[in-house]
Chain A
Amino acid sequence: MQDRYLRHLALPDFGPEQQKKLAESSVLVVGAGGLGSPALLYLAAAGIGTIGIADPDVVSLSNLQRQVLFREADLGESKVEKAAEQISLLNSEIRVKTHFLRLNAENVEATLSDYELVIDGTDNFPTRYLLNDACVLFGKTYIYGSIYQYEGQVAVFNALRTDKSRGPNYRDLFPAPPPPEAVPDCAEGGVLGILPGIIGTLQASEAIKVLAGIGEPLDGKLWILDAADMTSRKMTISARPETAINKLIDYQLFCGHQPLKDSQNLRVKQLKNWMQTSRPHRLIDVRTAEEYQENHLESENIPLDTLDKHIQAFKKSPQDIVFYCQTGMRSKRALELLYKHNLKKGFYHLEGGIEAWQSYSESD
């Protein structure tokens, strides 16, 4: 059995004791996507005893450009299930747990309770601040990684030090989140497929260093990379006294999102039902003209950045209006924009966007 870890055991500063530490450790990977894929594979290969995977999504075609855990045959399947299957095949000696959910302030404490370390592979600011604050409040090490186009950032936050104190956290780096429209996400800004591979692998590497007690993890440090020209930089971060975290808050609101009603989220099944029953509605694609040209549902195209010109017309619309985009992030922002103009009733967005539509099967 120990043959599996021979190359670990041959390392200087790494012996049976370190391997045992890994076997006794527990890690939660939040987001089984671009960052989570390589992280999960390497954590499983390294023999982390308990690995949890949290993700609310299913596999879609545009994931395969970077989410290397998944295969074409997995389209439409739950990411946590497929990821668990893959890493269990890689290492049958570890325990794998799945959490098919979107983390929020209500469920985060219970979900984190079985783990000592959290790897952040999420793709949005509200969940990142939620994870950071939860890790600070509940005493977990938080391995941060984030990407943008050709660039990535990695850090080890809230690290436990020998004097039992904890290192700086994400709020010491960025105390306040940018407003929703200020920083494009991967769907809008694009991302080089291999970039999350690099950053997610480094997150796993930092996790293994922390758990085995080897090397010098990025505690109190931020490492940034621009893969376009291979500029990288490691810098020291200090704690800011003004960023004390006392309780969990409403992270959607904190990140500038409007308090939309759940009933404004339309699932693929509901929209299909509207179409089949000829319920009158107007379907609007809020992606760019280029994306619309690439593929679209039977709909009009009003890109998000031009939507404000149509507010008056929307006010007079006799039909319900449904926005959709690639993954549901921009269509949600369309609803938020309308919310600011006091337009709520009769406006919906398609949850999961065109990707959810394409991977939908009748059995769902």
Chain B
Amino acid sequence: MNVNILAFGITKEILGSRSLNLDLPLDNGATVEDLREYLFEKYPELKKLNSLGIAQGTVYAQDDDRLNPAEEIALIPPVSGG
């Protein structure tokens, strides 16, 4: 499955890029949780954030949501500045 990923905050540094096109070794039934696990393996620093928001298009996804390759994925980490 091929997906486009847009990185925000510290995830931009961890991925080394603002946007990425990833070829995932995942089937059509894959979920957001599967994507998360894949990203954690490929970029272990992401796991250290404890909370990593993943949005699909205009929806802040839940772990069991189906992955939709037609939608752009956004990685949204917590930020604390004020």
Contact = CB atoms under 8 A, between A and B. Distances in A.
Contact of A173 (B6, B53, B74): B53
Given A177-B51, A183-B10, A183-B49, A189 B81 contact: yes
Contacts of B76: 153, 222, 224
A292 to B, nearest CB: 22
A240 B78 CA distance: 17
Given A176-B50, A179-B50, A196 B82 contact: yes
B82 A147 contact: yes
A31 B82 contact: yes
Interface in A21-69: 31, 33-36
A311 interface: no
B60 A222 contact: yes
B31 to A, nearest CB: 15
A51 B9 CA distance: 32
A148 B9 contact: yes
B82 A35 contact: yes
Interface residues of B, number: 24
B18 to A, nearest CB: 8
Q: 6 nearest interchain CB pairs?
A: A148-B79, A174-B51, A123-B82, A186-B81, A147-B81, A176-B50
Interface in A165-197: 173-179, 182-186, 189, 191, 196
Interface stretch (A228-236, A269-277, A293-301): A228-236
A336 interface: no
Nearest to B57: A235
A147 B78 CA distance: 10
B78 A178 contact: yes
B81 A178 contact: no
Nearest to A36: B82
Contact of A148 (B10, B18, B55, B59): B10
A231 B80 CA distance: 20
B2 interface: no
A178 B49 contact: yes
A123 B49 contact: no
Contacts of B18: 229
Interface in B1-21: 6, 8-10, 18
Given A128-B80, A183-B80, A240 B51 contact: no
B66 to A, nearest CB: 15
Contacts, number: 104
B48 interface: yes
Contacts of B82: 31, 33-36, 120-123, 145-147, 186, 196
Interface string B54-72: 0101111010000000000
B81 A177 contact: no
A31 B82 CA distance: 8
Contacts of A179: 48, 50
Contacts of B6: 231
Contacts of A147: 79, 81-82
Nearest to B7: A226
A125 B80 CA distance: 6
A120 to B, nearest CB: 8
B70 to A, nearest CB: 16
21 contacts: A31-B82, A36-B82, A120-B82, A128-B80, A146-B78, A146-B80, A147-B81, A151-B8, A153-B79, A173-B78, A174-B78, A178-B50, A178-B77, A183-B49, A183-B77, A185-B80, A186-B81, A191-B81, A222-B53, A226-B8, A238-B62
B10 A185 contact: no
Which of the listed residues B48, B57, B80 has the most CB atoms from chain A within 10 Å of its own CB?
A: B80
A237 interface: yes
A71 B76 CA distance: 35
Interface string B38-56: 0000000000111101010
